[in-house]
Structure 1
């Protein structure tokens, strides 16, 4: 399916974000947030199938064509939430909806819980709450994070001789994807460097979190969401394998739609993208 896509830049006070815009100007405003180490191309198969929505899919800070944070800054969940809220402000959106995959879904839940008066609907793809950690683990986790940050300066990014090698590496990464998905992400995620190509995401994105929310924190954010929320859970994704997720489903009666496919079911192939589109389209009441 072909569709006109507009490339824009959103200038925030502290960073510039790149974005791809899909749909008519008078469509329902939707801010789309991608997953960890992905970019806005994650919505390339899905967004054109959603009629009646004005989807602004941003490259989150440190990803894709967006800027990297200043030295000393980090990439915590609340930092992404602030970026999203400021981006909506720059777009002139008083109220808007969210479409989030994985990390983008987690940020969407936190943002909707924090400023419920601004968010109209949330559609989530295989992402709900972050990995949690209890207070007793915090000192050890902070120490690990601090040491990893110090070591990062001595590490060099992997350089691939060809784009094809980079695509193959992405296919076999922490979250495996299809060749089609890897190629789409590479279009926006690779940059030419001396000796070949390298992923242009900020190396700090791979650092462990210095502080995790507790289970009580995560539950509080889910409870605080006031708008309609629908979660698409991939049968071979990450959520359905987690006991904590199943507990959330039973405790909060979440609107969960299970679909076949992996964690990137909306990007791995056209069939998966169409299945996700039908669920999202129904949720947004698009005729």
Structure 2
């Protein structure tokens, strides 16, 4: 496995693979990789001849009071995980490699970014769309892999690819959880032992809400009230949002009817903001086994 730091090196290697007729998968990450990231790389390696992993803490998606400087980093550990998972190349640029000093061009999106995380992090998705677009142009992959834990991001990237005619298949992959249910996240390292236990209120709320919906509850408020009650019972938890939206358009809904829905939350445990969610398609409870249907699974890409 190679580790490179420049755009030119990535392009040179990808062009060489293309000359051999090989397919290329991309897994964009911000580093400090865990089993969730590993699952994306493993799937990408199974579905492509070569896999590129980007390991880049993107400054343009952090607000001025957010954790850019303290975001956890361990590149040596990341490289070991990438190699074990089957990656062929890790791209680890400096911000100056990705953004010229006088850069003033961004990729922005309306509508899908006005709710959920976009409501309280107004510049976040502009940064996400910009850096992912740049990675798509640099790597030119056949497929790119994103986790369902960042479900709004997955919806935003899919819409961006459609709207801007990127010739790339976007593959969503299921949430990977700890044994006790907590969704794996690089930010889990911020939690104290007491906060780590308190954080389980997120997955308890997700599982409770999902169970209600799968049992036939179709009123969004009923489900959300039950989920909020579980979180509010935890003294260390402070809700940013708990909402149910049309997954394709990220618009709040009152009833679960004929489209896939995303039930998502962001919750502060102490000072650490964590997210979790579930996706449900009322049209089909079979298919891949995650409640999705159609030619492409809405959460796992099957």
With the shorter chain as reference, the TM-score category is: 0.3 to 0.5
Greater relative contact order (Cα < 8 A, sep 6+): 1
TM-score normalised by structure 2 residue count: 0.35
TM-score normalised by structure 1 residue count: 0.36
